A = this chain, B = another copy of it.
Amino acid sequence: MKKIGIGFIGFGTVGQGVWKNLEPQREELENRLGVKIAFPRIAVRDIGRSRDVDVPAQIMTEDPYEVINDPAVDIVCELMGGTGKAREYTEAALKAGKVVVTANKALIYACGQQLFDLVKKHGGHYYFEASVAGAIPIIKTLREGLVANRFASIAGIINGTCNYILSRMEAERKSYETILADAKALGYVEQDDSLDLDGKDAFHKAVILAFLAHGKWIDEDHALVEGIRNVTLEDMDLAKNFGYRIKLIGLIRRNFKTNALSLSVSPSLVPLDKTLARVDGVYNAIKLSGDVAGTTILIGRGAGRDATSSAVISDIVDAIIGIRDDAHKFFTAADIDANYHMGENLRMATVDEIKSPFYIRVTVADQVGVLADIYRDLAELNISIAKVATYEHRETGTGTVTLLTYPTSESTMEKLFSRFEKIKNILGRPLLLRVYESVRG
């Protein structure tokens, strides 16, 4: 019976969650998989720190290379996060032909291509189910469960922190700043808060999904990435009047006729009757529009110790089976090559091609003629208006104009916003949000 060793680099919240949930079912897994499972080595920054789980002291080390180079370690769980040292250790482990399991989406975004090249060259393996959407088995679903499908659209709520903040703002009728402060106090926001609040974390995850579904690594220059900092409670109310809720949506669209791909992360208006509109709190949801299966939606916890460790353990089991059989199911060299092959004839959609309805919120000085100026610009750019609502604020002598457009291109909206800059009675920069539309059929 093969003996398979699992090592850890980084043993914080997630690492301890994996230990807590894996160790009690080790024997059951051994029976099921027909292998012996061992935990030979765990690398941490500070051995002295107290932990929530009991781990034998003799397997702890402060040197990650003792994990990587231990011949008893077959699977290296990189759970330290970040793109600095984590990259060094991941590369070293892959160069040693080991199987690496990770939740590190930032690292995959930063150097996924190089990591896959190392897998191909050295025969190791890289598993990263936990990197996207926590407990939702989205990578397995995309690659295995729905393998028969090509995806015209993948849309998701894939940052739990933003969804938590937006949900609480609405439920408690409190400002972004108030809820954000609370979320930070509760430890729900990444140290570098821009990862969550500016949509970068959701972007990293969307890039991983786009690579898996379409075979292309997309960088920031070829995507629209916006966070939730400018969304106000007022926008949520206005959106609701129009029949929508505001969610941070990661959206990957592929037009199979033109072979154009687009990727965006942006606070978006989702129709109230859609499932995505009703996913609240730290939950994530991903809606896949496949050409064979039709629409499939997966909902689950997006983050947190247990949700993430559920996904890590799923990868560990797949990794064990791959080592047991001396044959990993997916992300073999041939599989990686085939994945890139999908993206070969693909191009990024232009701003003329990317269309959606838009929500525009303009603050104006309460002066004669300002509405006429706005409507003239809209008319001259051929932008059709679906809905309008205006509100006056007597105390400040200002007004709010909100508009919902019919589908319009990103480039047209850019032109509109340049024109708006010249209207002197428009106060500040108007807010522009996209309206999420399902792929039809």
Interface residues of A (CB under 8 A from B): 21-22, 25, 28, 31-34, 129, 134-137, 140-141, 144-149, 275, 278, 290, 292-301, 306-307, 309-311, 313-314, 317-318, 321, 324-327, 329, 332, 334-335, 337-339, 341-342
Contact = CB atoms under 8 A, between A and B. Distances in A.
Contact of A31 (B140, B290, B318, B334): B334
A293 B326 CA distance: 29
A223 to B, nearest CB: 26
A28 B313 CA distance: 30
Contact of A300 (B136, B147, B296, B310): B296
B141 A137 contact: yes
29 contacts: A21-B292, A28-B341, A31-B337, A33-B335, A34-B332, A134-B293, A135-B290, A135-B292, A137-B140, A137-B145, A140-B140, A140-B141, A141-B141, A144-B317, A145-B311, A146-B310, A147-B317, A275-B275, A278-B278, A292-B309, A293-B300, A293-B310, A294-B301, A294-B307, A296-B300, A296-B301, A318-B329, A325-B327, A329-B329
Contact of A338 (B31, B136, B295): B31
The 10 closest A-B pairs by CB, nearest first: A137-B145, A135-B293, A325-B327, A32-B338, A148-B313, A296-B300, A293-B310, A297-B299, A34-B334, A292-B310
Contacts of A311: 145, 293
The complex is assembled from copies of this chain, and their number is: 2
A293 B298 CA distance: 13
A307 B146 CA distance: 10
A318 B310 CA distance: 22
User: Which of A140, A148, A325, A335 has the most chain B CB atoms inside 10 A of its CB?
Assistant: A148
Contacts of A129: 145
The SS class assigned to the A binding surface is helix
Nearest to A296: B300
Contacts of A147: 313-314, 317
Contacts of A278: 275, 278
Nearest to A339: B32
Contacts of A32: 334-335, 338-339
Contacts of A136: 296
Given A300-B295, A321-B329, A327-B324, A334 B33 contact: yes
A300 B301 contact: no
Nearest to A149: B310
A330 to B, nearest CB: 8
Contacts of A318: 144, 329
A329 B35 CA distance: 13
A145 B134 CA distance: 11
Contact of A145 (B296, B297, B299, B314): B314
A297 B300 contact: yes
A39 to B, nearest CB: 16
B21 A310 contact: no
A329 to B, nearest CB: 5
Nearest to A313: B148
A337 B28 CA distance: 11
Given A296-B300, A324-B327, 14 more contacts: A21-B148, A22-B148, A31-B334, A31-B337, A135-B146, A137-B141, A144-B318, A275-B299, A293-B301, A293-B306, A293-B307, A294-B300, A296-B299, A296-B301
B301 A298 contact: no
Contact of A306 (B294, B297, B324, B339): B294
Contacts of A335: 32-33
Nearest to A304: B294
Nearest to A318: B144
Contact of A325 (B28, B146, B149, B325): B325
Contacts of A34: 332, 334
A208 B329 CA distance: 25
A284 B61 CA distance: 49
User: Which of A22, A297, A335 has the most chain B CB atoms inside 10 A of its CB?
Assistant: A297
Given A32-B335, A309-B292, A145 B141 contact: yes
A303 B148 CA distance: 16
